Amino acid sequence: MKLFDVYPLYDVTPVRAKDVYVYDAEGTEYLDLYGGHAVISIGHGHPHYVQKIKEQLDQIGFYSNAIQNPLQQQLADAIGHQSCCHDYQLFLCSSGAEAIENALKLASFHTNKKRILAFKNAFHGRTSAAVAATDNPKINAPLNQQQEVTFLAFNDSNALESELKKGDVCAVIFEAIQGVGGLDEPSESFIYDMERLCKQYEACLIADEVQSGFGRSGTFFAYQKYKIEPHIVTMAKGMGNGFPIGGILVHPSIEAQYGMLGTTFGGNHLACAASVAVLDVLEEEKLQSRASELEPYFVAQAKNIPEIKKIKGRGLMLGLEFDFEVGPLRKTLIYDKKIFTGGSSNKNLLRILPPLTVQKKHIDYFFTSLKVALKEHSN
| Residue ranges per structural domain of the chain | 14-46+287-378, 47-284
Helix, strand counts (H, E) of the chain: 11, 14
CA of 306: how far to CAs of 238, 323, 342, 374, in Å? 32, 11, 20, 10
The pLDDT of residue 354 is 98
Residue range 20-39, pLDDT digits in tens: 999 999 999 999 999 999 99
Pick from 39, 42, 62: which is nearest to 273 by CA?
62
The pLDDT of residue 377 is 82
The Cα diameter of the chain in Å comes to: 64
Residue range 58-95, pLDDT digits in tens: 999 999 999 999 999 999 999 999 999 999 999 999 99
Residue range 271-280, pLDDT digits in tens: 999 999 999 9
Statement: residue 216 has pLDDT above 80? yes
Query: Which band of pLDDT confidence, cut at 50, 70 and 90, is reported for residue 378?
Result: confident
The pLDDT of residue 6 is 95
Sheet containing 317-321: give its strands across: 310-314, 317-321, 349-352
Superfamily designation of domain 14-46+287-378: Aspartate Aminotransferase, domain 1 (3.90.1150.10)
* Cβ proximity of 258 and 104 under 8 Å: no
Residue range 280-326, pLDDT digits in tens: 999 999 999 999 999 999 999 999 999 999 999 999 999 999 999 99
Residue 306 has a CB neighbour count (10 Å cut-off) of 7
Average pLDDT, the chain: 97
The pLDDT of residue 282 is 98
Sort strands 246-250 and 89-93 into parallel, antiparallel or unpaired.
Answer: antiparallel
Statement: residue 49 has pLDDT above 90? yes
Pick from 234, 215, 228: which is nearest to 314 by CA?
215
Residue 140 has a CB neighbour count (10 Å cut-off) of 17
- CATH match of 47-284 with 3.40.640.10: yes
Statement: residue 353 has pLDDT above 90? yes
Sort strands 349-352 and 317-321 into parallel, antiparallel or unpaired.
Answer: antiparallel
Residue range 160-204, pLDDT digits in tens: 999 999 999 999 999 999 999 999 999 999 999 999 999 999 999
Asked if the domains at 14-46+287-378 and 47-284 fall in one CATH topology, the answer is no
Query: How far is Cα of residue 20 from the mean position of the Cα atoms in its chain?
Result: 18
Give the H/E segment covering residue 318.
strand 317-321
Measured between alpha carbons, how far is 95 from 89 in angstroms, rounded to an integer? Answer: 18
The pLDDT of residue 357 is 98
